Amino acid sequence: MENLIKTLCEAWGPSGYEHHVRKLIEAEVAPYVDEIRVDGIGNLICRVGSGGTRVLFAAHMDEIGAMVTFIEPSSGMARIADIGGLIKGILPGTRVRFEDGDFGVVWANEARKPDRTIDDFYIDTLGKQVSIGTPVSFWRDVLFQNGYATAKAMDDRIGCVVMIEAIKRLNKQTENEVYFVFTVQEEVGLRGAGAAAFGVDPQVAVALDVTDTGDLPRNSRMAVKLGAGAAIKVHDPGLVVPKAVIDWMTNRAEADGIPYQLELLAGGTTDASRFQSSRSGVPSGCISIPCRFVHTTSETVSVADVEACVALVAGLAGPAVALGE
């Protein structure tokens, strides 16, 4: 699994430009699914099984990035706009990567001032000629140490890893009609999720995404921590998970001996918030991978938590699904 984490997290793919990531994922899952297609917005939709309950699992392929908006005539420096939720305080000195593999460095005059806006920043393209509308991702290679993995784009390539590994573990054996959807443009408004849910028309839906933790000094008071297992969402600002969905997940985890924790997130949401309001409504939940330093180039997860999430997804997807009240 480490090789897959490295391959996906180091891949280039800001929101709206997920095609390289989609190609890598398609090659991984093609032998293990019954049908594979790409919809009009760019979601990769993989079906396993037919008949039974239509279950949708989803993780998003995109990562936060930036786009060139203006070239300074005197210096050639490239001004930028956000693609997704950039944390401005970490931008000075951050390396960016262009689609062709070339690099640049983000800077701002008086970069240490705390109240910077995106208009203050620019990319030193190191002699590379770029044009307005050029997208970039941020760059760091993947590191593994003492059971932890650190990388850019864990949000949400690690969710994609969980789904790929679960697909392989199922090996086409399920009593349901399961759709594994790798969505686009989550970081800019959950756009792929809406199209995917409308197209699949699931009877129950589950997002796979990272979540914040409360295990750092002076961090928010949150029960989730690295190394304590899969985080089963109860609530976030965009989603109140139905009790029947929570019970379905926790009962499966307990039956299979999978370590889990409950997640109540004070800020942010996932594709599940879009799934729940699709068509006439879909019971929706989320399995979260605990992650420190979200929306930085050093997002960090516990490999043991990732394994727990894989086991939970595979355990949910295989047996016949019948939600209680």
Q: What is the pLDDT of residues 78-129, one digit of tens each?
A: 999 999 999 988 899 999 999 999 999 999 987 677 778 898 999 999 999 9
277 lies in the same domain as 296 = yes
173 lies in the same domain as 312 = yes
Domain count, the chain: 2
Q: Is residue 162 part of a domain?
A: yes
83 lies in the same domain as 212 = no
Catalytic choice (18, 63, 165, 186): 186
| The model's pTM | 0.95
56 lies in the same domain as 72 = no
Q: Is residue 322 part of a domain?
A: no
The contacts found for 249-257 with CB under 8 angstroms, 24 or more apart, are 249/206, 249/285, 249/287, 249/312, 249/316, 252/312, 252/315, 252/316, 253/229, 253/312, 253/315, 255/315, 256/311, 256/312, 256/315
76 lies in the same domain as 125 = yes
186 a catalytic residue: yes
Domain boundary among 82, 109, 138: 138
Q: Half-sphere exposure of 40 toward its Cβ, with a 13 Å CA cutoff?
A: 6
Q: Which of 1-5, 115-119, 206-210, 292-296 is predicted with the least confidence, judged by mean pLDDT?
A: 115-119
Domain boundary among 115, 138, 161: 138
Residue 257 has which token pair? 């001996």
How sure is the predictor about 324, in pLDDT bands with cuts at 50, 70 and 90? low
Q: Is residue 206 part of a domain?
A: yes
Q: Is residue 324 part of a domain?
A: no
pLDDT at 323 (0 to 100): 82
196 lies in the same domain as 147 = yes
174-208 burial code (b ≥16 CB/10 A, e <16): bebbbbbbbbbbbbbebbbbbbbbebbebbbbbbb
* E strand intervals along 114-168: 121-124, 135-138, 143-145, 148-151
Q: Indicate whether 316 pLDDT > 70.
A: yes
90 lies in the same domain as 35 = no
Q: Which tens digit of pLDDT belongs to each residue from 204-227?
A: 999 999 999 999 998 778 999 999
Q: Is residue 95 part of a domain?
A: yes
261 lies in the same domain as 308 = yes
Q: Is residue 323 part of a domain?
A: no
pLDDT at 296 (0 to 100): 95
How sure is the predictor about 325, in pLDDT bands with cuts at 50, 70 and 90? low
Where in the sequence is the domain holding 72, given as residue range(s)?
Answer: 66-138
Domain boundary among 103, 138, 173: 138
In DSSP terms, 57 is beta-bridged to 180, 206
How sure is the predictor about 278, in pLDDT bands with cuts at 50, 70 and 90? very high
283 lies in the same domain as 166 = yes
How sure is the predictor about 241, in pLDDT bands with cuts at 50, 70 and 90? very high
Q: Is residue 325 part of a domain?
A: no
